């Protein structure tokens, strides 16, 4: 399904305790499939309670470079106004750090 040169990285964070994501998963996760040659995010998913949220997050992340994490954060700030906005930003930064460690 995924090419040999791809890696899977998980970023995690916490969100407010009254958030349904925290009640269901106890944390917020973003999973990224990244092409190691280009550093582009090939596929993305996150722990959400609404499928539309996951698809919207995918539209923000897929096709972008994980190395341009500040641009990803900026786009999340400008476009994603769900209650887990900060958790998504922290999870992306966490995935970025993990990716740098394996790169």
Of 27, 31, 28, 29, the C-alpha closest to 9 is 31
- Cα–Cα dist 47/79, whole Å: 18
Of 70, 100, 73, 69, the C-alpha closest to 88 is 73
Question: What CATH number does the domain located at 6-102 have?
Answer: 3.90.1010.10
Could you give the C-alpha distances from 86 to 6, 43, 48, 83, in angstroms and in order? 27, 21, 14, 8
Reported confidence tier of residue 14, pLDDT bands at 50, 70, 90: confident
Q: What is the pLDDT of residue 22?
A: 54
pLDDT at 19 over 80: no
Task: Please list the alpha-helical segments (H only) found in the chain.
Answer: 20-25, 51-61, 69-79, 85-102
How confident is the model over 25-68, as pLDDT tens digits? 567 899 999 999 999 999 999 988 789 999 999 999 999 999 99
When the pLDDT of each residue in the chain is averaged and rounded to a whole number, the result is 90
pLDDT at 21 over 70: no
Reported confidence tier of residue 103, pLDDT bands at 50, 70, 90: confident
């Amino acid at each position: 399904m995924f090419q040999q040169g791809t890696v899977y990285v998980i970023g995690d964070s916490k969100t407010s305790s009254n958030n349904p994501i925290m009640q269901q998963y106890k944390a917020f996760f973003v999973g990224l499939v990244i092409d190691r040659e280009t550093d582009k995010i090939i596929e993305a998913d996150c722990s959400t309670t609404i499928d539309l949220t996951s698809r919207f997050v995918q539209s923000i992340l897929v096709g972008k470079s994980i190395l341009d994490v500040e641009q990803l954060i900026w786009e999340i700030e400008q476009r994603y106004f769900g209650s887990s906005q900060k958790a998504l930003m922290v999870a992306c930064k966490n995935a970025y750090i993990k990716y740098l460690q394996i790169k």
